[in-house]
Amino acid sequence: MTIRLLADGKTNDEIAQKLFISVHTVKKNIENIFEKTNLHNRVQIAVYAYKNGLIE
């Protein structure tokens, strides 16, 4: 879910509120996404999510 919200352009605060988790947890989740996908920024994540059918 974090990757969808991230790709939708949500801020860390907005993601945390939506998922009922801390901003620290959001940052760690995003860090893990970057590491696992070998991507480096939010734009690359959005493109990745679109290409892999996670967002329309």
> What CATH number has the domain bearing residue 33?
1.10.10.10
Q: What is the pLDDT of residue 5?
A: 94
Rounded to whole angstroms, the Cα distance separating 13 from 16 reads: 5
Q: Distance (Å, rounded) from C-alpha 24 to C-alpha 37?
A: 20
- Distance in angstroms (rounded) separating the CA atoms of residues 13 and 47: 22
Report pLDDT digits (tens) over 17-34. 999 999 999 999 999 999
Tell me the whole-structure pTM to 2 decimals.
Answer: 0.86
Does 30 reside within a domain?
Answer: yes
Q: What sign results for the dihedral spanned by CA atoms 9, 14, 17, 18?
A: negative
User: Residue 33's domain spans which residues?
Assistant: 2-51
- Does 20 fall in a domain? yes
Mean pLDDT of 12-21: 97
Question: What pLDDT is recorded for position 1?
Answer: 84
Give me the pLDDT at residue 45, please: 93
- 56: pLDDT strictly greater than 90: no
